[in-house]
Amino acid sequence: MAAPQADKYTQFVSRGVGKDLAKRLGLPQPALLRRFDPTAPLLTGPVLVEGSTPGADALATALLGWGLDVRRHATPKEKLAAIVLVLDAIGDPGEFSVPVRSVGASLRDLLPNGRIVTLSRPAAAELEPALAAARHGVDGFVRSLAKELRAGATANGILLADGVEPDAASALAALRFFLSGRSAFVDGQFLTAGAPGGGGPVDWARPLTGRVAVVTGAARGIGAAIARTLARDGAQVVAVDVPAAGDHLAAVANAIHGTALQLDITAADAGERILEHAFARHGRLDIVVHNAGITRDKLLANMDAGRWDAVLAVNISSQLRMNAAFLADARFHAKPKIVSVASTSGIAGNRGQTNYAASKAGVIGMVRATAALLAPYGGTINAVAPGFIETEMTAKIPFATREVARRLNSLQQGGTPEDVAEAIAFLASDAAAGISGNVLRVCGQNLVGQ
C-alpha cells in the first residue's frame, strides 16, 4: 500500500526554504508524521518509564520483553523516542507534582514524532473526592500537554479499570498502539482497558490472519482504506457498497483478493445477506466495520424530511438493524468484533449538520450500549470518530475553509484515510480484546469538542 501523502503546504514547510520561510513569518509548521510501516521497528530510540509503583516496574519489564531500550531514570540530554508515565496509584492531586515535573524535564529530549503515554485509572462519581480529582486531573494534563508538543509528537492516555494492571494484555495492546505509527493522527485521547484481555500471543505483523471482515461503504475513500488495511493485516475482506458503486467496489475487492457484495445496507435483510455471503464465500464472519455513511447538509430551518430521514436511515438505523441480525445468529458468537465509524461532528456538533451529528452521536450511544450485549461471547464493539480527513469530499471544500480546517488541531494538518483505518484495524484485532465500548477520536486533537 502506498504511503499516504501530506498536503502540499506540509510538504513545503517541512524542509529547506519552506521551513525557513514559515519560521520567519510565524506560519504553522506541521511535521511529516511517522505513520505505520510493517517493516520498521516499533520505536527508534529509548523509552523512559516514569513511575515508582509496582505497576511501573512490571510495565518496564514487559517493554523489555518487546526488545525496547527502556530507561527507568532520565539521562540528561539523552534523546527519547517515548515517555510512559505510570500513575496507576495516584490518590490525591498533590501527588502529581513530582512525576509530572519529571516528565517536563525530559520534554526537550523527546525526538520528533515522539510519544507520551500515561497509564492511570478512571474517575467515578462514587469515589472519595480527592481520589476522583486526582484521577480526572490526568485527563486535563494529557490533553493540555498534547497541545504543547511539536514536531509530530503526541500525548495520549490509557485508563485501567479495576483489576487491570499496567502490564495486563489489554493495557499493553493499547500502549503498543499509541507508541506505534498506527496512532500518528491520534492525539490527546484516551482508551479504556476495561478487562485484562489476552488469550495468547499476538502476531503484531499480521494480527488479523485467519479472520473474515466485512467493511461497508468500501468502494472509495475511508472505506477502501479500511479494506486495504485489514487485508494487509491478514484478514479476508468482504467489501460492501451500493450497486451504483459496483465498478469501484470490484476494483477494491480485486486489489486485496477479497470479495465484493453489492448491497443497500438500509434493506431490511441487509444483515442476513451479509452473513449469508460471508459464510458462503469464506466460511465465517469475525469482524464487521460499519463505515457506510452519507451527508445531506442543511440548516435545520431549511431541513426537509427527506434529508433528515435519509441520513438517519443510513448512518445509524441500518447499523442497529444489522447488529440485531448478527447478534441473533449463533455463527457470529465466537469473539466477534464490531467497529463503527462515528465523527467528531457527533461529539462537538457542526453548523448545518444537525441530521449528521444526531446520527453520529447515535452511533456513539449504540456502541456504548451494545458492548454489554457482546461481552458474553467474548466480543467487543468500539467506535472511531474521524476529524478532518483528506478525502475526495474534503478536497471539494473551498480553499480557504479547507486550509483553516486542516490547521485547527494540535498536529496542524489533516489526517489520511489510512489513519482512520489503522485505528480500526487495531480495535478489530484480538490484541484489543479487553477494550470495548470506547470511542477513539482520530482527529489530531481538533481544538473544538475535545
Handedness of CA 43, 45, 51, 57 (dihedral sign): positive
In the chain, % of residues over pLDDT 70: 97
Grid cell of 165 as nine digits: 494492571
pLDDT tens, residue by residue, 382-394:
999 999 999 887 7
d(CA 248, CA 369): 34
Identified catalytic residue from 356, 387, 430, 441:
356
Q: State the average pLDDT over residues 414-428.
A: 97
Please say whether the beta carbons of 118 and 85 come within 8 A.
Answer: yes
With cell 477479497, the residue in question is 258
**pTM listed for this prediction:** 0.94
Please say whether the beta carbons of 351 and 405 come within 8 A.
Answer: no
pLDDT tens, residue by residue, 302-320:
999 999 999 999 999 999 9
| CB atoms closer than 10 angstroms to residue 109 | 18
Q: State the average pLDDT over residues 162-183.
A: 97
Among 387, 383, 384, 267, residue whose Cα is nearest residue 317: 267
At 273, the amino acid letter reads: R
At 35, the amino acid letter reads: R
447 Cβ contact partners less than 8 Å away, ≥ 6 residues apart:
408, 409, 410
Among 75, 76, 93, 74, residue whose Cα is nearest residue 84: 74
Please say whether the beta carbons of 343 and 385 come within 8 A.
Answer: yes
Give the Cα-Cα-Cα angle 263, 267, 268 (nearest 5 degrees): 135
Domains of the chain: 43-193 (3.40.50.720), 212-442 (3.40.50.720)
Is-catalytic flag, 9? no
Q: State the average pLDDT over residues 218-231.
A: 97
SS3 113: strand
d(CA 41, CA 200): 22
Start-to-end CA distance of the chain, whole Å, equals 31
d(CA 385, CA 310): 20
b/e sequence 303-330, b meaning 16+ C-beta within 10 Å: beeebbebbbebbbbbbebbbebbbeee
d(CA 197, CA 430): 9
Grid cell of 1 as nine digits: 500500500
Confidence of residue 337 (pLDDT cuts 50, 70, 90): very high
Over 60: is that where the pLDDT of 4 sits? no
pLDDT in the model for residue 1: 43
Q: State the average pLDDT over residues 78-86.
A: 98
Please say whether the beta carbons of 417 and 175 come within 8 A.
Answer: no
SS3 372: helix
Over 70: is that where the pLDDT of 199 sits? no
> Higher-confidence residue: 67 or 9?
67
Please say whether the beta carbons of 81 and 115 come within 8 A.
Answer: yes
141 Cβ contact partners less than 8 Å away, ≥ 6 residues apart:
96, 100, 118
Tell me the pLDDT of the chain averaged across its residues. 94
Q: What is the secondary structure of 129-146 as a DSSP string?
A: HHHHHHHHHHHHHHHHHH
